[in-house]
Homo-oligomer: A and B are copies of this chain.
Amino acid sequence: MRYRCNWLCAILAVPVLVVTTVRADDQDTIDYRQHIMKGLNAQSAILGQIVAGAVPNDQLAQHLDALASIASTALKSFEPKVAGGESKPAVWNDWADFSKRMNEFSQKAAHAAKLAHAQGPDAAMTSMMEALTCKSCHDVYRTEKK
């Protein structure tokens, strides 16, 4: 009887486990890109503070380094086609445009960081502002959760 129950339980349990595993993986994928976006958000907030003169600009190059490093990881985190989180389906439906924008963001952030190291914070300001086109992308590809 116990043997039968074990088999029955195993048969019943397998689909549940499979579904759970798939869901967990999907949530991991969503969490990953959301952590990346949170990291970008934190650096953008700091850059905003620097532009506003609310905090000193003497660490601008390091903050741009961080922005550039995080930006360089963002596109790959969206490669698994897992809908959910705050991503609109357009991310995958318009992948060519989405990935073009992401790559441009990453390149511009790296350029601004390079400039800040080579020529100082003031020289990097224009490039930095050109890199931070967050809103134009979010308007198309993000459904912001209130």
Contact = CB atoms under 8 A, between A and B. Distances in A.
Contact of A54 (B28, B41, B45, B66): B28
A45 B55 CA distance: 26
Contacts of A142: none
Interface string A37-56: 01101110110010000110
B55 A65 contact: no
Given A39-B39, A43-B39, A49 B62 contact: no
Interface in A62-111: 62-63, 65-66, 69-70, 72-73, 76-77
Contact of A63 (B45, B59, B73): B73
A63 B68 CA distance: 11
